[in-house]
Amino acid sequence: MQVVRSKRALKAILSQQVNKIIGFVPTMGYLHEGHLALMKKARLENEFVVASVFVNPTQFGPSEDLEAYPRDEEKDQKQSERAGVDLLFIPSVEEIYPKDVSAQIKAVQAVDVLDGKARPGHFDGVLTVLLKLFMLVQPDRAYFGQKDAQQVAVVQNFVSDYFLPVNIRVVETVREPDGLAKSSRNVNLLEEERKEAPVIHQALLAGKARILDGCQNEKEILDAVREVLRAATLKLDYLALYSYPDFKPVTDFTKPIILAIAVQYEKARLIDNEIVRVSGGETNATNDDVC
C-alpha cells in the first residue's frame, strides 16, 4: 500500500492506473470494522482501491470540537493495508483547503430533519469535501455506510443532480456483538454508558417490529421505541420516522421507511437507524448502484 499526502503525489499514482476500475472509500480516520467493511467491499468490486483519511473541518459546527475528534494515523495505515487498500491519501487541511472557496455548496433537500436540522451546515461541508475528493480521485465507485443514512441520501442526490460519474455503493451497518453500531465516537463513551448503549438498537428493533406487525400509527411506533429507552440514562436528541430516501412524512407504509435516532451521552453523540419495507421485505441498499 502506498501512502501519499499531497494532491500532486495522488495524481501521479492515479495517472498510472490507466483503464482500471477505481473504488474509493472516504473516511475521517480512526478506522473501525465499519470502515474496513467498506474497504473490503471496494476491494472485491474494483481493480484499484483508494481510501482517504481526512478530518474535514467544514462539516463541524461552531459548538462541535474538531480537535477532540479521535485520531490514530499509524493504526489507520495498518488497518487500511490489511483491508486491501492500494493507495491511502492523508492530506493536511491546507492541502484540501489552500484558500477560502470562491463558491459554496449548499444542501437543500433531505437536510431539514435529523442531523441536517440538529447540525446546520453539516451536509454543506460534507458535500464540499466530497466534491473535492471525487475530483481528485475520479473514482468509478464510492463507498458509504448505511449507518449514516441521511448522509447517503444527500450524497446520492448530489451525485445525481450534478451528473457526477461515480456510482454510490451503500454497505449495511456493521455492529458490535451486542448490537451497538460501530462508530469512531464509541471510544468516548464512559464505561457505564458503553454497557447501556446497546439499548439504542434494541429500541429501534422494537419500533421496527411494530411496523412489520402492520402498525401504521407513527405515535405508536415511536412510543414502542421510547418504552425500551425508558430506563436509559441517555439524552434523546431526536427520534423520528420518515419515508426513505426523501425524508418526508410517511404517507405510504408499503414504501421504504427509516426509523432514525440520535442520542447524546456525556462525551459522545451516537446515531443509528433501521430501514424497513413492509411489502416485499426489507430494503437491501447494499445491492443498488446509484449513478
Q: Please name every residue paired with 241 in a beta bridge, in sequence order, or none if there are none.
A: 259
Q: Residues 182-191: what's their mean pLDDT?
A: 92
3-class SS at 291? coil
Residue 290 predicted with pLDDT over 60: no
- What is the average per-residue pLDDT within 151-177? 96
Handedness of CA 241, 246, 248, 251 (dihedral sign): negative
Mean pLDDT of the chain: 93
Please report, in range form, the residues annotated as the binding site.
Answer: 28-35, 59, 145-148, 151, 174, 182-185
What's 184-284's CATH class? alpha beta
Strand partners, 4: 89
- Annotated binding-site residue numbers for beta-alanine: 59
Residue 255 cell numbers, joined? 414504501
Any long-range contacts for 209-212 (C-beta under 8 Å, 24+ apart)? 211/253, 211/257, 211/259, 211/276, 211/278, 212/276, 212/278
At 9-31, the pLDDT tens digits run 999 999 999 999 999 999 999 99
235-243 and 2-4: which strand pairing? unpaired
pLDDT, tens only, 99-156: 998 999 999 999 999 999 989 999 999 999 999 999 999 999 999 999 999 999 999 9
| Beta bridge mates, 27 | 53
Q: What sign results for the dihedral spanned by CA atoms 153, 76, 261, 207? A: positive
How sure is the predictor about 288, in pLDDT bands with cuts at 50, 70 and 90? Answer: very low
Query: What class, spelled out in words, does domain 2-171 have in CATH?
Result: alpha beta
Same fold, 2-171 and 184-284: no
* Amino acid identity at 158: F
pLDDT at residue 66 in the model: 86
Mean of the pLDDT values across residues 193-208? 97
Active site residue 122: no
Residue 226 has pLDDT above 60, yes or no: yes
Rounded to an integer, the average pLDDT of 71-76 is 96
Instruction: Say which of 4, 25, 27, 35 is annotated catalytic.
Output: 35
Q: Determine the pLDDT at residue 111.
A: 93
For residue 281, pLDDT beyond 60: no
User: In the chain, what are the domain boundaries?
Assistant: 2-171, 184-284
The residues near 75 (Cβ < 8 Å, ≥ 6 apart) are 31
